[in-house]
Amino acid sequence: YDEALSILAEKGVKIEWGEDLSTEAERKLGEEFKGPYFIVDWPTRIKPFYIMPKPDNPDLSLSFDLMIGRMEVASGGQRIHDKDLLISRLKSSGLEPESFKHHLKCFDWGIPPHSGWGLGLARLVMMLLGLSDVREAILYPRDRWRLVP
């Protein structure tokens, strides 16, 4: 993340530390890196509440985004496996732990360290085929004007 901000600053795109990357910023990074690349060490405050903070620097998260060109195609990271830390992150994210009581109950029996990730398959297909719009990679695309085929 810090390296991405430095590259963007050199290209005239100013992103304050702790802010997410804009579409323009992602486009500029895509011009810099021709193949797939990872952005790691994202600020904890802009990642979901369940992403684990780094033990040596809780302002950073154990997370990644996989980028191809200008587009994020996958995102993931280590999940929090400590109940007290998860409750603290829920509260700091403006969420009510009571709403997550069934999920939190599992932590009473112990949760092993674990991680997860998500892949935007349509985005990946779009990038691999060199398409200009993600809707071209989806058999029945949905948008604000079209909900059914």
One-character DSSP codes across 76-121: EEEEP--HHHHHHHHHHTT--GGGGHHHHHGGGG----EEEEEE-H
Rounded to a whole number of angstroms, the distance between the first and last alpha carbons of the chain is 39
pLDDT at 11: 95
pLDDT at 145: 85
pLDDT at 143: 82
CB-CB contact of 9 with 25 (8 Å): no
What's the token pair of residue 49?
């509440």
pLDDT at 39: 98
Q: Does the pTM of the predicted model rise above 0.75?
A: yes
CA distance 138 to 119: 15
**Extents of the domains making up the chain:** 2-79+113-137
Cβ atoms < 10 Å from Cβ of 103 = 12
pLDDT at 100: 98
> What is the dihedral angle through the alpha carbons of 51, 56, 57, 58, rounded to the nearest 10 degrees?
40
pLDDT in tens, the chain (149 residues): 999 999 999 999 999 999 999 999 999 999 999 889 999 999 999 999 999 999 999 999 999 999 998 889 999 999 999 999 999 999 999 999 999 999 999 999 999 999 999 999 999 999 889 999 999 999 888 888 888 87
Answer yes or no: CATH 3.30.930.10 is held by domain 2-79+113-137: yes
CA distance 144 to 147: 7
